[in-house]
Amino acid sequence: MRPNENPTPCSCQDTEPANSHVPKHALEELEKRRAEEYRQHLLRTGKENDVLILAPANTPLQYPLKGFRVTPMRPTLIPGELAIGQNEKELRLSSNSLLKLNEMLSRVTYTSTIYHIRTEDLVYFSFEDHEVVFPIEIRRLSVPVLFDPGKDVNSQVTVVVKAFLRYKELNLLVNSIRWRYPKIKIIVADDSLEPQKVEGENLEHYLMPPAKGWFAGRNLAVSQVSTKYFLWVDDDFVFLNNTRIERFVEIMEANPELDVVGGQVESNSFFFKMNYEEGTVEEGGCITRVFHTHAPLPGFDGCFFADGVVNYFLGRTAAVRKVGFDPFLKRVAHTEFFVDGLGDLLIVTCQGLEIGHQKHSNTDKYLSFRQPSKWDSEAKMTHHFFKNHLKCMKY
């Protein structure tokens, strides 16, 4: 097995090295953290195992069994004992010497002729009575986006909250966070009708247009996160003696492929999986929510793969941003985020990761916004009918 492309040090001629402004006393530790984050990035993107497997020479032909990757419109040598042409769609080579024939094949390159950042091609190769076909993956190289995890949970996680009307509960939540984590950053997105000040050290309070909505607030809050992870909490939660953000981080760090780790709100371990059928082109698909999990997370007792979790979860910032929260959904919305992330987010729910829920009575004004009207429900289903190409959706 050999790497898809043999990486070589890139040249930095006439440019200033990116590490030239890093203080010398901090450089070694920063490089270690960067190396670990890049290793996890390769695991998440599948590039760490991005190797070529050359088919054994059971026939006279040796070729990349799974194909290989090239950059658009750049000549690339094909690994193995063969390669393809010079400005030709079809190339014929002949020689009386097998050694010379192999030498010629090793020097010819493949170049895509149409620019596209994500496509494929097929290569056909024949020798005497033998013929093989293998794919070529044409991809524009993407630049890694890494988050410096720093040295402790304060530089790894931001606590994010969407607030609406319930300032008494919000302030109690903030105080409980500060009691456990005095320095951690808190971001509050607030679309209350009559905003009040929410102040504190390392707390950012973002005011929105009144009643803009649940998912619009989530989008705003997550957009301001600069840490690798964020912890989502509702404005009426409260940190308990046994609320430990570090435990979430330990699970994520040990499993770099994970995107969301859900906890439990007191005894409520809300989680579900979704049965999805694509359906026909004309009618669309069907989604049914089922209150079960898929399988255990190896090595972590009490953790199970799921498709959706409770409103108390640690999210991988970059992954969640790619899915986003649909701002059309203003009132009741939760499962809908996980519907949009189905197949893109790897999710687990874990027992023992607990937060408290405040006892309070909602005001009539709050309830008038909390409960969707018949029009809201009908508009939401119409929205999913088009957006998610659905024939039916059962919660």
355 with 243: CB under 8 angstroms? Answer: yes
pLDDT score recorded for residue 372: 66
pLDDT score recorded for residue 65: 55
Distance between CA atoms of 233 and 222, rounded to whole angstroms?
A: 12
Domain covering 153-393 assigned CATH 3.90.550.10 in the classification = yes
How big, in percent rounded to 5, are the helix, strand and coil portions of the chain? 25, 30, 45
**Residues with pLDDT less than 50, the chain:** 1-5, 52-54, 81-86
Q: Tell which residue, 222, 186, 212, 213, has the closest CA to residue 201.
A: 186
Cα–Cα separations (whole angstroms), residue 360 to 166, 168, 357: 10, 10, 9
* Residue pLDDT, tens place only, 46-61: 765 555 444 555 555 5
Would you say the C-alpha torsion 246, 270, 255, 318 has a positive or negative sign?
Answer: negative
The domain ranges of the chain are: 52-139, 153-393
**How many other C-beta atoms lie within 10 A of the C-beta of residue 306?**
23
Cα–Cα separations (whole angstroms), residue 227 to 204, 237, 348: 14, 22, 20
Report CA 313 to chain centroid distance, whole Å: 14
> What residues form DSSP beta bridges with 309?
271
| pTM score, whole prediction | 0.85
The distance in angstroms from the start CA to the end CA of the chain is: 47
pLDDT score recorded for residue 67: 62
* Residue pLDDT, tens place only, 314-366: 999 999 999 999 999 887 788 999 999 999 999 999 999 999 999 876 666 66
Q: Is 174 left (phi over 0), alpha (psi -120 to 50) or beta?
A: alpha
Q: Tell which residue, 175, 170, 174, has the closest CA to residue 192.
A: 170
pLDDT score recorded for residue 104: 76
